[in-house]
Structure 1
Amino acid sequence: MQRTEFEFESMRFSALTGGSGFPILMLHGSGPGVSAWGNFRLVLEGLERSFRILAIDLIGFGESSRKPAKPYFDLDLWLRQARFALNLVGDGPVGIIGHSVSAVLALRLAASNPRVTAVMTTGAMGGKFAANHDLELTWSVPRTRDDLREAMQSLIYNHSLITDELLDNRMKLLGSNGYAGYFGEMFAGNKQQYVDACVLDPSELGGLNCEVTLVHGRDDKPIPAMENSVSIGALIPKADVVLLGKCSHSPAVEHPGKFLDIAKMVFG
């Protein structure tokens, strides 16, 4: 994998690129200190053996620019960025992997762009549900390393996977150049407003013509599977729903082998 930067709407975004073959755009989630590398680091090498990968850091995350003015939580901006990134892989069929909030972006892109022939989501948002304590932790600024560990324990079923390296990398990003304040402003106020902003239109889902596979941890605490992937999947004509046992919100981290097996079936 190599890191590349692109100009977009007078901002800059970072992307990890590599591999060859069928192109896949990868979109990460929205937790504290998250990035393409943070979400997908354990599966990138396996994917690039079979596919051409473009894994981007959304504006406001990872090594990409921050948005210069509020609102920092901006689904429309991220959708435009994802559409721009989709064009970077050239013409022809393309696949998308979207995690958590980015499942919303992936499905909306697929609904509006016939080039998208397959979508795989993990821990998808998009359904109607009440913001819960674990989601509050995910969308709040961890003031200490222990706070971050508590938030990560909501996201990862097997707590032994929450390594010192993982915590150190995320705390480093949160501590750099006022990022913690920026993240806090991104999810300021009542968290329910951000859940509601992600609810997908049933008619849009019903019009999807591509193959869709929604992968979700059966034990996902912040984004419950039944209210999200299961309910969304029931509205999509060509949808498969895969529930992973002993898995919370991070299938690519918790079960990288299963993630890769499913991806190869979806995009192979």
Structure 2
Amino acid sequence: MTSSDRPEIGRSVQANGIRTNYLEAGSGAETVMLIHGSGPGVSAYGNWRLVLPALAENFRVIAPDMVGFGYSDRPQDVDYQLDTWADQAVGVLDALGVEKAHLVGNSFGGAIALRVATKHPDRVGKLVLMGSVGVPFEITEGLDAVWGYEPSVENMKKILGYFTYESGAVDDELARSRYQGSIQPGFQEAFSAMFPAPRQRWVDAMTIPEAELRQLQHRTLIVHGREDQVIPLANSYALERILPNADLTVFGKCGHWSMIERNADFNRQVRDFILEA
């Protein structure tokens, strides 16, 4: 999949003009694309390291670093907006010769997956949305803090505390490690440029019109942690109501990181959902 010394760095392709780092595993007949969330120092590897090898048992799995995150390029003139990320995702599929993929989107990545599906419905198989944005909501204290992160170990520990249900899951070592990841050259500069205050406008900018969502006929699995402090559980109830072919799973004693905090359950549900005829 990747080199053992730098597992977060995989191969790269030109995707809609952006050199894009991506991880790949598996060789199944069907392709799954994993689209990560937003946050300081985030990358495809950081989001999906426990999911990618599990899904690779049944599928070809691709996990790109979206522009502005991870180890993809950060062009000076890039316009950080929903269509930019959606077009990059489609560009990755084009570059890898993938006609259709199932999309799994985490948080910010859920809105990207929905945007790809509304713009290119024939390129998308099934959808999995985890703690997703894409519908209107009032920005939470947690999301405002995540998007407003200023680099320090203390701030990183506070940010990680919003993501998890168990406060003890975030120790000083994890906070220091994630802090070091967030201050690699160019990382924080790009991240801080994406979501400057006031940040409600960026929530609104990642909202997809309800009329467009109602047109989506794709089978959709919606997953949310009941104790999510970053994206409100109400978002997933709204998506389940709006999307014509959606089912909703709510994990108890779980925050924003369902794919980590309830990893075995998440992997099993996603695999079974995609395999189901």
How far apart, in 2, do the equivalents of 1:178 and 1:116 lie? 32
Q: Report the 3-state secondary structure (helix = DSSP H, G, I; strand = E; otherwise coil) of the residue aligned with 2:238.
A: helix
Identity of aligned residues (%): 32
Cα shift at 1:166: 3.9
Cα shift at 1:214: 0.8
How far apart, in 1, do the equivalents of 2:98 and 2:84 lie? 22
What is the match of residue 87 of structure 1? 94
From 241, 247, 250, the equivalent of 1:243 is 250
What is the match of residue 6 of structure 2? none
String of CA shifts for 1:172-222, please: whole Å, max 9, x gaps: 232222422321121112010110011121111111111001101111111
Tell me if 1:179 matches 2:206: no
User: Structure 1 residues 70, 48: CA separation in 2 closer, same or farther (over 3 Å shift)?
Assistant: closer
How far apart, in 1, do the equivalents of 2:123 and 2:173 lie? 38
What is the match of residue 255 of structure 1? 262
**What RMSD over aligned residues (CA atoms) do the two structures have, in Å?**
1.7
Letter in 2 for 1:154: Y
From 114, 123, 135, the equivalent of 2:131 is 123
Tell me if 1:99 matches 2:102: no
User: Structure 1 residues 90, 10: CA separation in 2 closer, same or farther (over 3 Å shift)?
Assistant: closer
When normalised by structure 1's length, the TM-score is 0.93
Deviates more, 1:110-119 or 1:196-205: 110-119
What is the match of residue 14 of structure 1? 21
How far apart, in 1, do the equivalents of 2:188 and 2:102 lie? 33
User: Structure 1 residues 147, 51: CA separation in 2 closer, same or farther (over 3 Å shift)?
Assistant: same
String of CA shifts for 1:210-265, please: whole Å, max 9, x gaps: 10011011111111011x11101101110001111111111111111011111112
CA contact (8 A) 2:16 2:91 kept: no
From 159, 163, 166, the equivalent of 1:158 is 166
Structure-to-structure mapping, 1:58-97, within 5 angstroms: 58-69=66-77, 71=79, 73-97=80-104
Q: Report the 3-state secondary structure (helix = DSSP H, G, I; strand = E; otherwise coil) of the residue aligned with 1:30.
A: coil
Q: Report the 3-state secondary structure (helix = DSSP H, G, I; strand = E; otherwise coil) of the residue aligned with 1:114.
A: helix
CA contact (8 A) 2:14 2:91 kept: no
Q: Report the 3-state secondary structure (helix = DSSP H, G, I; strand = E; otherwise coil) of the residue aligned with 1:79.
A: helix
CA contact (8 A) 1:23 1:89 kept: no
Give unmatched runs, 5+ long, in structure 1: none
Letter in 1 for 2:61: I
CA contact (8 A) 1:157 1:247 kept: yes
Cα shift at 1:159: 2.7
What is the match of residue 5 of structure 1? 12
When normalised by structure 2's length, the TM-score is 0.90
What is the match of residue 52 of structure 1? 60
Q: Report the 3-state secondary structure (helix = DSSP H, G, I; strand = E; otherwise coil) of the residue aligned with 1:67.
A: coil
Q: Report the 3-state secondary structure (helix = DSSP H, G, I; strand = E; otherwise coil) of the residue aligned with 1:25.
A: strand
Q: Report the 3-state secondary structure (helix = DSSP H, G, I; strand = E; otherwise coil) of the residue aligned with 1:151.
A: helix
From 28, 34, 41, the equivalent of 1:26 is 34
String of CA shifts for 1:61-118, please: whole Å, max 9, x gaps: 01111131364x3212101101112234535542010110111111122233223120
What is the match of residue 200 of structure 2? 192
From 134, 147, 154, the equivalent of 1:146 is 154
Give unmatched runs, 5+ long, in structure 2: 3-9
User: Structure 1 residues 166, 267: CA separation in 2 closer, same or farther (over 3 Å shift)?
Assistant: farther
Tell me if 1:218 matches 2:221: no
CA contact (8 A) 1:217 1:243 kept: yes
Q: Report the 3-state secondary structure (helix = DSSP H, G, I; strand = E; otherwise coil) of the residue aligned with 2:248.
A: strand
Q: Report the 3-state secondary structure (helix = DSSP H, G, I; strand = E; otherwise coil) of the residue aligned with 1:55.
A: strand
